[in-house]
Structure 1
Amino acid sequence: MKGPGLTRACTMGPIVAAVEATGGSVTRVFRRAEMPLSLMDAPDCLILLRDQCRLVEEAVRESGDPALPARLAFATGIDGLGAIGRHVRACATLGEALARVEAIRPTLLQTATWTGLRREGEDAVYGYAVTERIEAGRQTNAMLALGYLLGTARHFLGPRWRPGRAVLTGAVLLDRAEIEWVFDCDLNLGPRAGLHFDAALLATPNPAPGPLLEAAPSVPPDGLTACVAGLIELALFDGRPAIDGVARRLGLSRRSLQRRLEAEGTGFASILQGVLRARAEALLAEGTTPIGRIALDLGYADAAHFTRAFVGWTGVTPSMWRRLHRKSPGFERTSPFAGPGRSPG
């Protein structure tokens, strides 16, 4: 069963920088989007795609600049896509790069979105769409994505290249002239964002190829279990997460969430324990955070309660686990989506 789309918190970095550059309040943006500001210290944390859309929308509101997502995309360029940007730079031709993005986007960046290439006669259409129902921030998110689509194409075709047609999601576009100026091309409105251009351009060679990279999944597969685990990890920034809060973020009732997790063969308590164990092991492996501090960060009343839970997961105390890990760094690491007492298989 598919769950809501996920993305990485690292996508928020450029948004924060853009808000700060306009003199806006990043704290206010995160509060309106109902996101913890401390998330900026955890770029690999999973967040809901709908939360990122809402954050972009709030950043536009705070800055008073409808063209902010377009500026964001051009300021960060394809390098702002992280691993995907490095894969693009490694491809021999534009066509190969667009095919590579389509193949690796769900594992390296986010789920519940589509980025792909299709042919319409002698034209190629490089498009983007959100595949789950998200209303808030849909156009601003598409504007950000369109900027990255243009950045990818212009890496091969030159910074002044213009598509035959560029399409942005939505029925109305505020400040169209300014957005077109930033994108340096005319815009049409339609149900799916994308670029239309001569298919012969797909053979354009890479002007500055980088080293070949192997795709390595970093975003978990679609599924409610992965979404709940990501929301629990996110909620740990504000204290011990509760099932009611997670259900609300997903737009579900408590009972509906329980039933759907049962259908995936798990439950909220099991996922919570798996996330707590994985987070505890990560903090212990760093070797600098006191065990009492780890206990409080994970929502335990004191170190004794945390120690009892940790012994139940691993069979050893936190201090013993840390010593064993220092002797053998590969010792008993756990997936954040494993249940209590289970190692990843």
Structure 2
Amino acid sequence: MGALGFTKARSMGPVAEAVARAGGSVARVFRKAELPLRLIDEPEQLILLRDQLALVEHAARELDDEALPLRLSMQAGMEGLGLFGLRVKKAPTLFDAIERCNCGMESMLQSMTHMSLTRCGARLAAWTYEVCDDVPVGRQKNELLAFGYMVEALKRFGAGAPLRATLPQKPPARAALEDILGCEVVAGEKAALIFSAELLRNQNPTGADPIDRRVDDLPAPDDFSASVEHLIRLALLERRPTIDYVRRRLALSARSLQRRLSSEGESFEAIRRRVLLAKARTLLAARDAPITRIAYELGYSDAAHFSRAFSAWTGESPRAWRRGALGAVREM
């Protein structure tokens, strides 16, 4: 198994809202993608890039709308990309905005993808987007999703619509895509937007922050332990995380998964315990969260089972830990 690509849930755009508005079944789309519905309310949650691709693909099929990914990202705009989008919006020039996209994408928003800016002769520039993950489903849908955000960035800096767009594979809804993008769509080696290179000098019309305060918070594609940790957090949105769930997401046997973790000095149980403990402490710090509800949130059948586990982890009961935590807050 090679490197793993992750993306923040917010990168898929308002997919649930779009499916519901068009009369489709949001539950069915998420079920087919094997993703929890609660992901809708967790935009910062990391999911496998291939799962995001599958979700958008199933949503497009649900609505019979091949152009849906493009509509989603153009509806969300750069604002929909959170901190990453804010960095891009605050760039001094269009050139700087594209550079912030290209340099920050793999560490702040979505790994196993690559963006670059190249010159096409003396007068044109090509902004390209590539999926480096070996995904079986949804590659072109992801390219279209990226196009929407890229076009919105161009427009924000007064560049207008691109002159043309290229896709490695012929799209099934070319006319619809051209209507939305405002330019022709043709075959090309990579997914790219072509525009006048002069526009790269365009200044930010709404005020700029010349300092790129980048924050790296995505796991490196080869950090297997961190990848397993994020999948455990994902599973926690709807069930108690199990090794079977994680190994299926990674297309590995349980033995292979444990062997990979062992090579990094980790184990599945140790990672799961850290995730559950961190979540438990967060929930306990909320004064109005009943212990029974916290136990359910963490996948325990009742409060007693959770209390025994928490005591084994920390040496004190959940209620005692909460009293100490809330008391420390009051003293600050």
TM-score (norm 2): 0.91
Preserved contact between residue 69 and residue 143 of structure 1 (Cα < 8 Å):
yes
- Once residues 3 and 313 of structure 1 are traced to their aligned partners in structure 2, the CA distance between those partners, rounded to angstroms, is 32
The verdict on how the C-alpha distance between 1:324 and 1:105 changes in structure 2, with shifts beyond 3 A counting, is farther
Preserved contact between residue 4 and residue 227 of structure 1 (Cα < 8 Å):
yes
- Once residues 264 and 135 of structure 1 are traced to their aligned partners in structure 2, the CA distance between those partners, rounded to angstroms, is 28
Matched with 2:139 is 138
- Once residues 47 and 230 of structure 1 are traced to their aligned partners in structure 2, the CA distance between those partners, rounded to angstroms, is 7
| Matched positions, count | 328
**Aligned CA-pair RMSD:** 2.2
Identity across aligned pairs (percent)? 45
Matched with 1:178 is 176
Matched with 2:194 is 196
AA aligned opposite 1:124: A
Preserved contact between residue 10 and residue 81 of structure 2 (Cα < 8 Å):
no
Matched with 2:76 is 76
- Once residues 145 and 230 of structure 1 are traced to their aligned partners in structure 2, the CA distance between those partners, rounded to angstroms, is 23
- Once residues 7 and 36 of structure 1 are traced to their aligned partners in structure 2, the CA distance between those partners, rounded to angstroms, is 15
Preserved contact between residue 12 and residue 73 of structure 2 (Cα < 8 Å):
no
Preserved contact between residue 165 and residue 183 of structure 2 (Cα < 8 Å):
yes
- Once residues 301 and 68 of structure 1 are traced to their aligned partners in structure 2, the CA distance between those partners, rounded to angstroms, is 40
SS of the equivalent of 1:128 reads strand
1:171-215 CA deviation, whole Å, 9 max, x = no partner? Answer: x31121111101111112334211223333221111222556622
AA aligned opposite 1:309: A
Matched with 2:165 is 166
SS of the equivalent of 1:237 reads coil
What runs of 5+ residues in structure 1 fail to find an aligned partner? 332-345
Matched with 1:119 is 119
Preserved contact between residue 12 and residue 72 of structure 2 (Cα < 8 Å):
no
AA aligned opposite 1:304: A
Preserved contact between residue 125 and residue 197 of structure 1 (Cα < 8 Å):
yes
- Once residues 141 and 82 of structure 2 are traced to their aligned partners in structure 1, the CA distance between those partners, rounded to angstroms, is 20
Matched with 1:335 is none
- Once residues 65 and 257 of structure 1 are traced to their aligned partners in structure 2, the CA distance between those partners, rounded to angstroms, is 37
What runs of 5+ residues in structure 2 fail to find an aligned partner? none
Alignment of 1:1-345 (within 5 A): 3-12=3-12, 14-122=14-122, 123-159=124-160, 161-163=161-163, 165-170=164-169, 172-211=170-209, 214-222=213-221, 223-329=223-329
Q: CA deviation at 1:17?
A: 1.4
1:301-339 CA deviation, whole Å, 9 max, x = no partner? Answer: 4323322322333333211222222233599xxxxxxxx
- Once residues 233 and 41 of structure 1 are traced to their aligned partners in structure 2, the CA distance between those partners, rounded to angstroms, is 14
- Once residues 330 and 100 of structure 1 are traced to their aligned partners in structure 2, the CA distance between those partners, rounded to angstroms, is 41
Q: CA deviation at 1:98?
A: 0.9
- Structure 1 stretches of 4+ moved >6 Å: none
Q: CA deviation at 1:238?
A: 3.0
TM-score (norm 1): 0.88
Q: CA deviation at 1:296?
A: 2.6
Q: CA deviation at 1:29?
A: 0.8
Preserved contact between residue 159 and residue 199 of structure 2 (Cα < 8 Å):
no
